[in-house]
Amino acid sequence: MRAIGLLSGGLDSTLAARVLLDQGVEVIGINYSTGFCMNDHRRSLARPDEDPKRMRNEGLRAGADLGIPIEVLDAGEAYLRMVLNPKHGYGKRANPCIDCRIYMIHGAAEYMREHGGHFVFTGEVLGQRPMSQHLQALNLIEKECGIAGHLLRPLSAKHLPPTIPERLGWIDREKLLGINGRSRKEQMAYSTAKGINDYPQPSGGCCFLADENFARRFHDKREHSKVEEIRREEMILLKVGRHFRLAPRVKIIVARDEAENQFLSRYLSGGWRFEVLDCGSPITLVEGDPDEPTRQLIASITSNKVFALDAELKLARQSLLKFRNHLSAALQEPPNEQDASDFYQRLAAQSNGMIALDRSRSCVGELLGGISPDPNPELAESLKALFVFVHASLTRADVERNPEPVRDALAILETHRQTWLELMERLVDGRSGGGKSQPIAAGGNSWTT
């Protein structure tokens, strides 16, 4: 017997495949690339300090662990249209779970017919998810997929009517499971017994559509666009940066670090793009055609030194941590002659940290120089004291090659940044720009102040 299963690589789908393999069933896994997987996005950003496990394709990893073939299918344009206009609506966020299951199981059924399969299986658990895994929803999904009787859910089979594979004796129902409810204790115990130890955190979530921040941006996009004209590229951009809607037809996306700068630079064809020249600033991408006052506001947001300083300090601290670790290893166990060349090359690479520190101190100096005593001298003195401390911390980090003072500076900066972001949101709401900005470069359109 050949079973075709949806295999995300999560605990439930992996166990469902394992249950069938233990009965001698040939299993082929289907893994859909939807464009909304967080791991895929982390992989595309390729941040140097990202945990490799958070960037891998869990479906392919699970297939390799189970020793079964995995077919990765592009969900395609039809999937995006479904996400934007789901027949059965959204869950708590922007998750069209029922329509998503119908789409994927229907695709698995088509694959089953084309490749000589006998039935489809999933890792669904009765009562685990409030929208899509109660009994009425499970029956609805099976009915709309057009494969009544040929959809097996091995983890909850004993709570569900026997399927055709069970009635015909292809599958021993007694060897299937009877799990129900939201707890994962039974699955985790079963996985331990079967030697399955490498899987994502249960209920950790890998789908952007169930993420609160993404959902807020998603529904904003639907509200301010013609839904039928929304493109996949626009969905991709919802995953990146800080988003501010400045007008009904104008929104900006501000990169948060160098990885997001590089990511946004792939989407700079034709529209407005703001960036402070020679300052390591964030790239700000504009959706829509801003008028002159709005361009002034965008320039003010882009040129704020807090964004650039935050990115530089994070780079400095990461580099100094690596520097300290390499240095400690060298003091404890000096490298032998064979390893020396590679070791000192890695050590020399930490000069990036020193460069980042220099740039950070320059940013702090500019922030200090820009503080005016008018109209609030007391506030100005407090801000000066804050940034003087930050500058001193960076100097100490440089002299001692120690990342800890950078951590202190980052903590202070975080508080200042959050305060500034709140003020910026008020400025956005009030449609007022502030002050003079640094020179701005724009892709497609050019504008400076």
401, burial (CB in 10 Å: exposed 0-12, middle 13-18, buried 19+): middle
Tokens of 435: 């002050």
Q: At what angle do helices 305-332 and 377-400 cross, to 10 degrees?
A: 30
Contact predicate 14/121, CB 8 Å? no
Tokens of 367: 């922030």
pLDDT of residue 340: 52
Tokens of 322: 């690596």
Output phi, psi for 74, to 5 deg. Answer: -80, 120
pLDDT of residue 366: 66
pLDDT of residue 426: 63
Tokens of 146: 């057009």
417, burial (CB in 10 Å: exposed 0-12, middle 13-18, buried 19+): middle
Chain CA centroid to CA 87, Å:
26
Tokens of 94: 């922007």
Output phi, psi for 426, to 5 deg. Answer: -65, -40
Q: What is the dihedral angle through the alpha carbons of 314, 317, 320, 326, rounded to the nearest 10 degrees?
A: -90
Q: Which residues of 367-385 are buried (b: 16+ CB within 10 A; e: fewer)?
A: beeeeeeeeeeeeeeebee
Bridge partners of 6, per DSSP, are 30
Of the candidates 285, 281, 316, 336, which has an alpha carbon nearest to the alpha carbon of residue 395?
316
pLDDT of residue 438: 42
Domains and CATH numbers, the chain: 2-193 (3.40.50.620), 240-449 (1.20.120.340)
Dist. CA 286–CA 39, nearest whole Å: 26
Bridge partners of 3, per DSSP, are 27, 119
pLDDT of residue 349: 47
pTM above 0.85, yes or no: no
Average pLDDT, consecutive stretches of 10 residues, N- to C-terminus, the chain (449 residues) = 96 97 98 96 89 93 97 96 97 95 97 97 94 93 94 98 97 97 92 92 80 94 95 95 88 88 85 80 90 86 66 56 55 51 52 66 71 74 83 82 78 71 61 41 39
Tokens of 272: 């407005």
